[in-house]
Amino acid sequence: MKQQTILYFEKTGILMAVYLVLRFLLPIVLPFFLAWITVGCLVFLQKKLPVRLLTLSILYILLFLLLSGTSIFCGCYLLYEPCCRLLPVCQSYWAQFSEYLSWLPGSLSGYLADLMPSALSCMFGIFLYLISILLFARDWEHFHILLYRLPFAVPVSNAAGRLLQCVRGWIHAQFRIMLVVSLECAAGYYLLHIPGFPFWAVLTGIIDALPVFGTGTVFFPWIAVMVLQGEYPFALWLGLLYLITWLTRELMEPKLLGDGLGLLPVCFLISVIAGLKLFGPLGFFSGPFGVLLIRELWVELETAFSQKNRLNL
């Protein structure tokens, strides 16, 4: 009975430790943690390619910067013409409702002032992420030797190995949801006669797979522009397409992601909601990740407890 009580206290300690790490430590070390995961993936890729790890990391950083720059350029280029067409419409509405919209400039400037530190912090985080990739790649072996000297390194490593299998299942499930949403958008864009509909459909699917964003990031501004331009039937069809994609993710996500992570769908949904409440937008990932980490550490603890009991017998 005494040993069982000790086991329960140790499980409670793991629960509190994981919460404190996710709540306070993870936001601070997130760029370094992502860089460590990235280099780990590059190490796996290096086994199949005759390239040094540092060289592979430099190539990854160049590809990351190229894709980011291309995305920003394409976004600005594609949004330039719609913004130019929308500006006279906005000016017309502003002239008609200027008395009612007089509060917008002050509130908007306050919102932008609050947003600016977050944007600078995000840019600095990306810079740390890229620099950390080079540093981890340069001293990968020495860093792992240092990690294994830490207390509880072996059980955490065993739990992380099983957790990696769950993450692979999660990526597979996300890809399947993204594929279904992209196909739905492709069919909808084709029926709406949108030029280059396959590209826009894939882009919408990728944005939908990102945490916090979703297809509403694409459809809400688009619908607002169509309403301002007086194209109400087009806006109605866009709203219907958004509803279809939203329902698709809501119905598929708990089942596929729960199965991929080894959680019941309702448990996965609870972990996401709890993560968002406790950790903010980052909780979309850290909520399920924390539940899985606690589960795997408990498994390690119970395994060690069982082995100890066998030895005592």
State the Cα–Cα distance between residues 183 and 176, nearest whole angstrom. 11
Question: pLDDT category, 6, cuts 50, 70, 90?
Answer: confident
Identity of the amino acid at 281: P
Cα-to-chain-centroid distance, residue 107? 29
What pLDDT, on the 0 to 100 scale, is given for residue 24? 86
3-state secondary structure (DSSP) of residue 311: helix
pLDDT greater than 60 at residue 244? yes
Asked if 156 and 299 touch (Cβ cutoff 8 Å), the reply is no
What pLDDT, on the 0 to 100 scale, is given for residue 260? 65
User: Tell me: the pLDDT tens digits for 142-197?
Assistant: 888 887 787 777 777 777 777 777 777 777 888 888 999 999 999 999 998 887 78
pLDDT greater than 70 at residue 115? no
Q: Note if the pTM is more than 0.75.
A: no
Contacts of 154 (CB under 8 A, 6+ apart): 148
Asked if 62 and 40 touch (Cβ cutoff 8 Å), the reply is no
